[in-house]
Chain A
Amino acid sequence: MSEAAPDAVIVGAEIAAGHDGAAELLVRLKYENGTVGTVTLNADVGFALIRACGADKIEELAGHSWRKILEGLEHA
C-alpha cells in the first residue's frame, strides 16, 4: 500500500470533536525517523482523503502515504 518508502505514512485515523462543533479526522502519521505525529483534517479534506485512498472505512487509511493528504487538500 505504501507508495514511497522514505515518506511519512498514515498509521491510523480517528474521529475527533472539532473546536468548531464538527467532527474532524485525526490522522496519525509515522515519519521516516520513527516519530509518530498527528494532523487534523476538517470534513471536506477528510472525505477527500478517504476518496483519494479509495477507503471504505477509516481504518483503511493506514498504510497510505502522507501525500494522499495533499491530494485531499487539493480536491477538497
Chain B
Amino acid sequence: MLDLVIRNGIVVDGTGKPGFRADVMVRDGRIVGVGIGHDAEAKTVVDAKGKTVAPGFIDPHTHFDVQLLWDGAARPALEHGVTSIVPGNCSLSLAPLKAPDRPAVVGMFQQIEEMPPEAFTIAFDWTWENFEGYCAAIKKKLELNVAPLVGHSVIRLWVMGADSQKRAATADEIRAMQRLLRESLEAGAVGMSTSFVDMDAKGHPVPSRFAQFAELDALSAVLGEYGRMLQVVPEFYDTDITIARVDQLSRLSLAHGIPTTFSPLFDSTLTPNNVDRVMGRVEEQFARGARVWPQMQTRPIDVSFSLKRPSLFLARLPSWLRVMKKPFEERVAALKDPEVVAKLIADTGPDGGALYFGRLVIRGGDAAPASLVGRTIASLAAEKNETAAKTLIDISLAHGLDVAFLAASAGHEKTDRVGRMLAHPLMHVGASDGGAHLHSFATYGDTGYLFSEFVRKSHHFSLERAVQKITSETADIWGLPNRGRIARGAAADVVVFDAGTIARGEEKPVFDMPGGGMRYARSAIGVDTVVVNGAVAYAEGAYTGAKHGTICT
C-alpha cells in the first residue's frame, strides 16, 4: 500500500517540460511512481483535479535560523508551497557559537531580522554550541526541509573572539577556522555565507568584513573539498564594486571548484544599467567556467516611514525636510503649529499632497488603530474633506507620530524590466530574506508573486519554466540531490496549487512572535496542499503539524 497518492492533477515536474496528466505515488517519503492507470491503494489520497502538481519550492535565501527553534514550519513559508529553505545567509548562523558569545550574535540577528529580544530568551533553550548541536535542536520540530549555511562571522567569532571585529586573522587562526568550517560541513552545512556589508547592533561591521582575501580563499578551499556553496552579500549599492566581487567570486569558484551566489541584486530606475552591467560580467565569468549565481527577488521593494523617525522619503519636500530634521519634541510642536502646517501643505503642491501621499497605506502593527489599517491616505482625506498632507499630519499627531505609512512598489517594481531580468538563464530566483526584516515588510509569498505577476500577467515565464526556476534549478545550483523534481526516487516534496490563482496575500501585521512580538506577513492564495517528505504538512488552509522535515544536504 502507498502512503500517499495525488490523483488527477497536471504534473509540472520541475524539469521545464510541458505539464502532463499523471498521478504521483508516494511511499516511505519518496516518489515511487508517476503515471496514469495505477489503482494501488493509499493511506492518504489527495484529489488534485484541475490543479498543478509540482515539486515543493526551494527558498535559497532566508534567515529563519531563530524561528526554526520554535516553529518548524517557518510560518508562513510552508503554506506558500516552500518545502525547503536555506537559512544562515549573510555571514550569520546560530552555530558554531560559544555560550559567552551569544549576546553578540543575538545583537547581529536583531539588527538584521528585527526580532524581539524575547525570541532569544523565552522561546527556546540554548542547548548547543557547535553546528551539529544546532541541527539536532531544530531537527525534531521540522515541518519542512532545512539546508543550512554556516556563517563566516560566527566561525570568525569562535576562533578570534572580540578580535574578530578588529583585525585580519593570523595563519594559525585561519587554520582553526578551516577546521571549524570542515566540522560544520560534516555536521550538515550546505556551504558558508559571508558579507561585505552587514553591521551588528552597535553599528560595527560584522566579523566577516575584517577578513582578508587569503582567509576567504582558505575557507573556500575547504568548501572545495565538499563542493559546497559560498554565499555572499556584496556591496550591492555600487555597481562597480559588485562587478569586482563577481570577479573575486569567480576566482574562488574556479580555483576551488565551488558554486558561489550573491544577493541582493535589484533593479532601480535611478541606476538603470546596474543589473545589465552585472549580468554582463556574470555571463563572461560563466563562459570561463566559473559558477557565480546572482540572486534576484521577485517582489517589488516597498518603502515605509513614519513621522516618528526622520525618513528620507520626505526629503524631496523642503518644508518637510526642515521639520524632519528637528528633534522629536520640536517636530511634534512644529506639526501642531498652523503656520508650519500651512507651509507643509503648500510644499506638496496645488493638490495638497494627493499625488505625493494619496496612495500611501496605513500599515498597522504600531499605534495606528485597527480601523485605519489598510486605508489609503486618499480615502481618509476624501472622508474628512481634507487635503492628503493634512490628513497624514493629523493621523500622525493623534497617535504620537507612531503611524507607519507604506509606499508599495517603490523600487524593483517595473514588471517589464524585472521580468526580463528574472528570466535570464543565469539569474537565480531567490533572495526572499524570509524570516528577516520583521518590522519592515513581509518576506513571504515571493513564489506566489512569481506566478501571479510574471507568469499570468506579464508572460515572462511559462508555468513550467517558473516552476523549474524555483525547484530543480535551485536544487542543482545548491547541490541538493533528489530535491526539486517530480520523479521516481525523488524526495516526495510536492505542492498542489491552482495555477490560475496562486499569489501572495495582502501584507498584514501579525503578533505571533515570542512575547507577542509583531511582524508583517502574507498568507498564501491558491495553494491547496503541501507535502514534505511524503507527509501532508499543509492542506485546506491549515498546517497539519506533520514533522517530516529534515536537514537536507
Contacts and interface: CB of A to CB of B under 8 A. Distances in A.
Interface of A: 14-26, 37-40, 43, 46-47, 50-51, 56-58
Nearest 3 pairs of A and B residues by beta carbon? A17-B411, A21-B440, A40-B237
Contacts of B43: none
B312 A21 contact: no
A21 B321 contact: no
B162 interface: no
From DSSP, what is the main secondary structure of chain B's interface residues?
A: loop
Contacts of B316: 15, 57-58
Given A17-B301, A18-B301, A47-B325, A23 B311 contact: yes
A50 B240 CA distance: 25
Contact of B321 (A19, A38, A57): A57
B238 A38 contact: yes
A26 B315 contact: no
B441 A21 contact: yes
B322 A23 contact: no
Given A20-B440, A22-B440, A39-B238, A57 B312 contact: no
Contacts of A25: 312, 315
A15 B313 contact: yes
Given A40-B238, A56-B321, A56-B322, A23 B271 contact: no
Given A23-B313, A46-B315, A16 B440 contact: no
B269 to A, nearest CB: 9
Nearest to B266: A19
Contacts of B268: 16-17
A50 B323 CA distance: 13
Given A21-B304, A21-B437, A15 B322 contact: no
Interface in B492-515: none
A23 B301 contact: no
A40 B266 CA distance: 14
Nearest to B409: A17
A19 B312 contact: no
Contacts of A17: 268, 301-303, 407, 410-412
Contact of A22 (B237, B239, B271, B311): B311
Contacts of B324: 47
A17 to B, nearest CB: 3
Contact of B270 (A21, A26, A43, A50): A26
Contacts of A38: 237-239, 270-271
Interface in B283-329: 301-305, 309-313, 315-318, 321-322, 324-325
Nearest to B199: A42
A37 B240 contact: yes
A23 B271 CA distance: 15
A39 B235 CA distance: 11
A21 B411 CA distance: 9
Contacts of B239: 38
A1 to B, nearest CB: 18
Contacts of A19: 236-237, 264, 266, 301
Most B CB atoms within 10 A — which of A25, A38, A56? Answer: A38
A19 B268 CA distance: 11
Most B CB atoms within 10 A — which of A14, A17, A43? Answer: A17
A59 to B, nearest CB: 9
Given A23-B305, A39-B238, A51-B325, A57 B318 contact: yes
Nearest to A42: B312
Contacts of A23: 303, 305, 311-313, 315, 410
A21 B266 CA distance: 13
Given A19-B236, A51-B325, 10 more contacts: A17-B302, A17-B407, A23-B305, A23-B312, A26-B270, A38-B239, A40-B238, A43-B311, A50-B325, A57-B318
A28 B324 CA distance: 23
B513 to A, nearest CB: 18
Contacts of B325: 47, 50-51
A26 B271 contact: yes
Interface in B234-279: 236-240, 264, 266, 268, 270-271
A41 to B, nearest CB: 8
Interface in B396-430: 407, 410-412
21 contacts: A15-B312, A16-B270, A17-B303, A17-B410, A17-B412, A18-B411, A19-B236, A21-B441, A22-B305, A22-B440, A23-B410, A26-B270, A37-B238, A46-B312, A50-B315, A50-B321, A50-B325, A56-B321, A57-B315, A57-B318, A58-B321
B264 A58 contact: no
A58 to B, nearest CB: 5
A15 B305 CA distance: 13
Contacts of B305: 22-23
Nearest to B314: A23
A19 B90 CA distance: 14
A34 B338 CA distance: 47
A22 B303 contact: yes
A14 B313 CA distance: 10
A16 B407 CA distance: 12
Contacts of A15: 312-313, 315-316
